[in-house]
Chain A
Amino acid sequence: MQIGPISLKRKSWEPFAFASPSLALIALVIIFPLAYSFWLSFRNFDLSVGPDSEFVGGANYVEALIRDTRFVNSIWNTAIIIGPSLVVELLVGLGLALLLSRIGRGRAIITALLAIPAMVSPVMAAMAWRMMFGVKYGAINNLGRQLGIIDVYFDWFSSPFISIVAIVLVEVWHNSAFMMLVLLAGLQSIPQELYDAGKADGAEGWRSFWYITLPLLKFTMVVGLMIRLIDLTKLFGLIFVLTFGGPGGTTETVAFSTYLAGFNDFRMSYAAALSYVIVVGVLLLTLLFMWIQRLREMRAA
């Protein structure tokens, strides 16, 4: 009976053959376009001018980082939106996770209900809120008037500051549930014995939260924040619907201004250069974050 072992023997081409369809697709639709885009970013290909282009060296990158105030401003705008969003999402997510970990009955259903906004597309979330912010028929102005908080129809997108507050609010509504889910999983992985031991040593309530929960949840928090940070650098659909970069370009994010350079001005090479600036920026941000984290751990040890 030699048949068994022989047929079970792995053929050397099989692993590669099984993986090849996805490898080929990834090479074709991701790797090659990215390489092409890199090549393009050193040329002056402009669809509104014509199909011809020539090599211009690093001119696009120089323009992006020095001369183009619009793009430099959009980096700043993105940071202004990301900062408060991350802080509030972390706090709301942590609060909800702690609450959910305290209730027994109905936890599963409430968690699922609270998680729904995070499953919705940013475009749909922004559209729902844009309508709620509506000047005359929006829910927020109507509710405010009915409760006597405001007495005029307020335009929520007239000033840069309030526009950014509104964007952060929608962002928090949309993505706090993600933090909540991540932190809830983190909370549930903390062994109950630690709390029992803490109780024996007199750590209850706030103290057990401060000395047991928080230190053990730190890693989970960092991972959650990291993921949110990377996602927030891609902020596009929400801006597209909620403000379209307005008023006066004060809410244009990096992804949005790159989109405008590419598909409004049709400066393809320039947009390619901008997108590489974003990629490098996100990469540096990630490395910085990891480096700070490692430094902290080393100091703690």
Chain B
Amino acid sequence: MAIALERPRVRARSARFLRVRRWVGLVLTWATIVAALIFFLGPFFWILTTSVKANEDYFAYPPVWVPADASLKHYAALFTRSSGARYFTNSLTISTLSMLAALVVSLPTAYSIARWRFGGGFLSLLLLVLRMLPAIALIIPLYIMYKLLGLTNSYMGLVLVYTVLYVPFAVWLLVGFLRDFPVEIEEAALIDGCSRLRALVSVVVPIIAPGLAVVALFSFIATWNEFLFAIVLTGIETKTMMVLVTSFTSGGTDMFYGEASASVVLGVLPAFIVAFMLQRYLVKGLALGGTKG
């Protein structure tokens, strides 16, 4: 009888203990997540506030973390004095052109692999090799070839190399999207007298458009972020944002904070947009080097 009375009390205590433990666990989980968010996003916040500070704020102590009156004059200086407008446009143009070219070249190849199993395991092998290949091994011969052909300091030269570097990744993603596409719809178009190419362009493309957009965004950000080819192959007129930003480091440890931070803000902008738009595909994109070019 005594034992039977004892039991419920023990159970009640352990239930309360479990509830407290779960609550503590929840608090700790969220505290760590907040700490992680501060560590990973803090630098962006600091760069953003730095870019809108007034010049005297940089010297102030105690430091000004959030400027009282934000001004965009560093952005204005970046765009005019450092020709930032030109380099921003260069980055946009080169990334957009490479993105379009990579799509146009990759789509038929992906189609060929998805529908006719072209090349067997060739694609996966190529992807693996290209994933491992250090860009530094390619830049030396390309630089000499571009010099001979007069392709350095041209949009054309950079777009060409970015397109090719991106083709295997784009093909690989597109093959996946195309395999999910029902063959019957396409066959209906073929029976109606469409050529393969026509069927691809006017039947398949509109339906797999979301997949194309994923590939396009990844290729855009990869070319936007690329640095090694950009710094070697561009000249004064064709510099990209990545090259521009490195020009501020010549000031030593303490440099032109205003313009430098403004250029970083502009340089990371696409990353923010893409990280949110492509959430589901981030693993694939990052694993295949889809953002580093």
Interface residues of A (CB under 8 A from B): 3-4, 7-8, 10, 14-16, 18-19, 21-23, 25-26, 28-30, 33-34, 36-37, 40, 45, 95-96, 99-100, 102-103, 108, 110-124, 127-139, 142-143, 145-146, 155, 157, 173, 177-178, 181-182, 185, 227, 230-231, 233-234, 236-237, 240-241, 244, 255, 258-259, 262-263, 268, 271-272, 275-276, 278-279, 282-283, 286
Contact = CB atoms under 8 A, between A and B. Distances in A.
A121 B267 contact: yes
Interface in B126-148: 126, 130-145
Nearest to B287: A227
Nearest to A21: B105
Nearest to B289: A231
Contacts of B286: 118-119, 178, 181
Interface string B227-246: 11001100000000010011
B45 to A, nearest CB: 10
Nearest to A181: B283
A110 B289 CA distance: 22
B78 interface: no
A113 B253 contact: no
A262 B141 CA distance: 10
Given A111-B279, A116-B40, 6 more contacts: A124-B225, A127-B245, A127-B263, A128-B44, A130-B249, A132-B43
**Which of A18, A113, A129 counts the most chain B CB atoms within 10 A?**
A18
Nearest to A4: B191
Given A40-B141, A230-B131, A132 B246 contact: no
Contacts of A178: 286-287
14 contacts: A18-B111, A18-B118, A22-B109, A37-B137, A37-B138, A111-B279, A117-B43, A118-B282, A118-B286, A120-B271, A127-B245, A233-B134, A234-B134, A259-B136
Contacts of A130: 249, 253
A278 B135 CA distance: 11
B43 A29 contact: no
A116 B41 contact: yes
Contacts of A143: 63
**Which of B131, B163, B275 counts the most chain A CB atoms within 10 A?**
B275
In the complex, the 6 A-B pairs of residues with the closest C-beta atoms, listed nearest first? A121-B225, A119-B271, A33-B141, A18-B112, A37-B141, A275-B137
A113 B37 contact: yes
Contact of B137 (A18, A137, A278): A278
Given A22-B167, A234-B134, A121 B242 contact: yes
A33 B253 CA distance: 38
Interface in B45-83: 46-47, 50, 58-59, 61-63
Nearest to A14: B196
Contacts of B232: 263
Contacts of B62: 146
Number of chain B interface residues as a range: 35 or more
A182 to B, nearest CB: 6
A138 B43 CA distance: 11
A21 B227 contact: no
B193 interface: yes
A102 B132 contact: no
Nearest to A136: B254
Contact of B37 (A4, A110, A129): A110
B89 interface: no
A279 B171 CA distance: 24
A103 B254 contact: no
A268 B144 contact: yes
A237 B249 CA distance: 13
B195 to A, nearest CB: 9
Contacts of A145: 61
Nearest to B28: A99
Nearest to B112: A18
Contacts of B131: 227, 230
Contacts of B119: 19
B113 to A, nearest CB: 7
Contact of B242 (A113, A116, A123, A271): A123
Nearest to B227: A237
Interface string B172-216: 000000000000000100110100100000000000000000000
**Which of B50, B106, B224 counts the most chain A CB atoms within 10 A?**
B50
A262 B47 contact: no
A14 B116 contact: yes
Given A15-B118, A133-B253, A139 B221 contact: no
B134 A255 contact: yes
A128 B47 contact: yes
B88 interface: no
